[in-house]
Amino acid sequence: MKNPESRPLPDGWQEVKLIDACKVITPRNRIQKAKYLSQGRFPIVSQEAPFISGYSDEKGNVLDSDTPVTVFGDHTCCVKYVDFPFCVGGEGVKILKPRHVLHDKFFYYLIENKRISIRGYRRHFSLLKNAILSYPDIAQQKRIVEFVEIWNKSIETIGNLIDEKKRKFEYLLSDLIRFDSKPKIPLGEMCPIARGNKTPPPKEKRKYLEINDINIKSKRYNLDRKKKSPIEGSIYVPAGTMLVSTVRPTRGAITITREDLYVSSAFCRVRIDNNYPFYCLQHKKFKVHMRQSQTGGAYPSVNHSDILNFEIPVKSLPEQEYIGRVLDVASREIYILDMISMLYRKEKQGIIQKFLSGQWPISQLPPEWPRPSEESPEDTTCDQKPCEGGFDSEGIGIDHHPSQATVLK
């Protein structure tokens, strides 16, 4: 089967329609979400984004099929590689087992990198099943998988380092800013309210910051590509203004402006001389205070006074500056690692797409690559290996917690 939009295939490569390249497995049992357990013997895999959606204690719910398999979310387009016994959660889960001409994990990477048009919460397998897959012989497939696995290992290593840095940051935050100490003072008394009385720039140079522009993890924003003009009621504030969202406050949308700009009136705005108040509001005590103060159901909010009346420990100015500098360094380390991780993922996506489509022949890799010291993926034709948490007495994988599934774009 030829794909009219594809490039000429390298020698030895073939094409096949996805539905002809795999078997679609129908599970005997599907567990409804209301019956998910938070802990249990058998992991539940659904079409939701988290890799593991819950657990079951019923052995009869375990999928009666050999793993590994590729799981595709018909509504969500999440793609997961599952190499351990599992239960199927809910509807919309397509379980795919490639035929012998395709390596299990190579097939998964083909699906993971296949672009289909997402149409909201509709079914998408009808589109995916007609996609054309290109593949070389099994030996080349295994080499491509080895290549991808080494990239994944590097990304995983960076991710583990980020997690470690975040734990250290939380420890530093709790150690340097102790809310059990006295005296304390309301934020509004320590920091004056930014009232926005500056003269705004010409209309064509006005920037506008909204709550959704803030990266919740890094507490930063980027307006370089934003073209939306300030709306009526927005406020012009100077650089160095701390902004705290009054809408869905437990999300932690807090930032410091790097320049004079317009901001949404949904921000509580205060002027700060150093970053000490900024880090006080990242403490878990402030999150608890916001949770207790918010009102409303699906779209909770707090009053400006709820933020301004939050009491923070009193420190001398040199102490405030020292705490701010220490936490700035720790925060910047996490930000840099996040950027490196993002670049690794982006680079991996582009390179792997070249290999999976045959645009870059695998022969371009050195013969001795990957290095013998690098771990290669197990041959999936061998006996099933224990998953990360091992097996229990009946051979069922336990305590397996990969981070996230992939969503097709």
* pLDDT of res. 297: 80
271 pLDDT exceeds 90?
A: yes
* pLDDT of res. 22: 93
pTM value surpassing 0.75: no
For residues 263 and 384, the model is more confident at 263
* pLDDT of res. 206: 82
* pLDDT of res. 368: 60
What domains sit in the chain, N to C, each tagged with a CATH number? Answer: 14-137+365-407 (3.90.220.20), 184-313 (3.90.220.20)
CA distance 191 to 273: 8
397 pLDDT exceeds 70?
A: no
CA distance 54 to 36: 5
395 pLDDT exceeds 60?
A: no
Chain segment 336-380, per-residue pLDDT in tens: 999 999 998 888 888 888 888 777 777 666 666 655 444 444 444
Q: Tokens for 304?
A: 């400006």
* pLDDT of res. 205: 73
CA distance 348 to 27: 33
% of residues, the chain, pLDDT over 70: 84
261 pLDDT exceeds 80?
A: yes
Which secondary structure element, helix H or strand E, spans residue 388, and what is its range?
Answer: none
Question: How far is CA 63 from its chain centroid?
Answer: 28
Phi/psi of residue 402, nearest 5 degrees: -60, 165
Chain segment 112-143, per-residue pLDDT in tens: 888 777 776 678 888 888 888 989 999 889 98
* pLDDT of res. 116: 73
Chain segment 60-111, per-residue pLDDT in tens: 999 988 889 999 998 888 999 999 999 999 888 999 999 888 999 999 999 9
* pLDDT of res. 360: 77
For residues 186 and 369, the model is more confident at 186
